[in-house]
Structure 1
Amino acid sequence: MSTPDTTTPDINTLEKGQEIGSREVRLSRADLLRYAAASGDHNPIHWNERFAREVGLDGVIAHGMLTMGLAVDLVTDWVGDPGRVVDYQARFTKPVPVPDAEAGPPDTPTATLLISGKVGAVDVEAATARVDLTVSLEGAKVLAKSQVSVRL
């Protein structure tokens, strides 16, 4: 006999508007380099200040997929299993600048994402819920319509 998974939210007790949590995620230039190495996305806008400015940016920016990945971690922690995510969509509304640290090592954080989530919809019959994420930097949303569907 298997033991029930106590980390997975109970679909029968979820309500629209219910908060699932929030967190701050701090980013450094070193984080961007590590992500580039892991993802294979070596676009210089994510690590070279001069190049980023030459193409019209204010400086180096975080990878969009890194931002999305950091945001969905809130949901996967909440449901207890990343395999429960059945759909994830978001629109990029603003870049996430990650300035070079004025002092200290390259892994000194210089940007902080604020991530929070609320239940946006519940379908008890299908055993699914939609979580609406808010992802912002310095008060400005960097992702819009960030919605994650999970099977519970």
Structure 2
Amino acid sequence: MTAAPLTAVEVGTVVAERTVHLTRDSLVRYAGASGDFNPIHYRDDVAASVGLPGVLAHGMLTMGLAVQPVSEWLGDRGTVQRYGVRFTRPVVVDPQQGADVTVIAKVGTVDADGRPQRIDLTVTAGGPTVLGKAQVTVVLR
């Protein structure tokens, strides 16, 4: 997909989209990088024992994957000033099939010059939305 311009965009313009495939190996690598070795992120028996539907991707991994396309779209033309989400559903990572996390980033608000101020993210995994009220405030250079 060609990156949308930074100026003269309208509310609703898609500026970035991406699907990331997560595997159990992805979770182990993230655990090592983040230091979050909670066994619900790699052991089915532990996840089941606490009532979870399976091994879950780390929330911060999901959140980081969601903002990355916006950051790449901005490049050196702007910065992320603020980013927030609500975790609405866990991303269950199947031991064989893994999980696909899809991000669609759309312009949420623009300034008087048509420059984007807020980017709204739709983040899904296997159909359902997994992050709610996912919004990125951007500042253009």
TM over 0.5: yes
Return the offset for 1:74. Answer: 1.0
User: How has the CA–CA distance of structure 1 residues 81 and 33 changed in structure 2, closer, same or farther, with 3 Å as cutoff?
Assistant: farther
Shift of 1:85: 0.4
Q: CA RMSD in A?
A: 2.0
Secondary structure of the structure 2 residue equivalent to 1:17 = coil
Q: Does 1:139 align with 2:131?
A: no
- 1:106 aligned partner: none
Deviation at 1:10, TM superposition (A): 3.1
The unaligned stretches of length 5 or more in structure 1 are: 1-6, 102-108
TM-superposed deviation, 1:148:
0.4
Within 1, Cα distance between the matches of 2:137 and 2:19? 22
- Aligned equivalents of 2:77 and 2:41: distance in 1? 27
Q: SS at 2:68's partner residue?
A: helix
Query: Is 1:63 equivalent to 2:51 in the alignment?
Result: no
Q: CA offset at residue 124 of structure 1?
A: 4.5
Q: TM-score, normalised by structure 1?
A: 0.83
Structure 1, 60-69 or 13-22: larger mean CA deviation: 13-22
Counterpart secondary structure, 2:54: coil
Which runs of at least 4 in structure 1 moved beyond 4 Å after TM superposition?
A: none
Alpha-carbon spacing, 1:36–1:113, altered in 2? closer, same or farther (3 Å) = same
Higher Cα radius of gyration: 1
CA distance in 1, matches of 2:77, 2:127: 28
> 1:93 maps to what in 2?
88
Distance in 1 between residues matched to 2:102 and 2:56, nearest whole Å: 16
Q: Is the contact made by 1:8 and 1:80 (CA closer than 8 Å) also made in structure 2?
A: no
